Amino acid sequence: MARYEFTREAGHQLEVPLVSEPDKAAAQLKGRLEDLGLTHDHFRVSVEGFRVVVAGDAALQEQKEKILLALGNVAGVAEVEDRVAAGQEGLLPRFVTVQEGETLSDVALRAYNDPTAGKRLLTANRPTLTDENAIYPGLVLRAPE
């Protein structure tokens, strides 16, 4: 079980407050995963304060990482607890957080030492990131090797 930190003030807005209506927020988060095509009926999502707990089985490590980010990049979420099995245990995701004033090229330079690797980041973060101009400070992105 691993925990990943996120910027609580940044991200997708839910219709209900995370902390005051945890069951409704969990249902909305699960719906977000389904809308993005990242989950199936076997995933469980719960909310405990500012922490989201996700459990289930993912087909691939990539799917697992995208699930963690789709849940973490939500306003109000400070932490995601990972209880998802992906059959590739021991692999740790490589995440980078967008800083104030950064472009996708800036993030690519920091992650890969290559400012032209922005398209690589864009591809690695689909379906939640569809446009290189849609990044914002506090957004956490996958940066696979």
**CATH number of the CATH domain containing 25:** 3.30.1340.30
Structural domain ending residue among the three candidates 66, 85, 104: 85
On whether the CB atoms of residues 96 and 111 are closer than 8 A, the answer is yes
Q: Which helix (H) or strand (E) holds 95?
A: strand 95-97
Residue 90's pLDDT is 63
- 88-130, pLDDT tens digit by residue? 666 778 999 999 999 999 999 999 999 999 999 999 999 999 9
- Are 70 and 108 in a shared domain? no
DSSP annotation of 96 reads E
In a domain, 90, yes or no: no
- 43-82, pLDDT tens digit by residue? 899 999 999 999 998 878 888 999 999 999 999 999 999 9
Structural domain ending residue among the three candidates 62, 85, 108: 85
Exposed/middle/buried for 3, CB within 10 Å: 0-12, 13-18, 19+?
exposed
In a domain, 35, yes or no: yes
Residue 58's pLDDT is 81
Which band of pLDDT confidence, cut at 50, 70 and 90, is reported for residue 38? confident
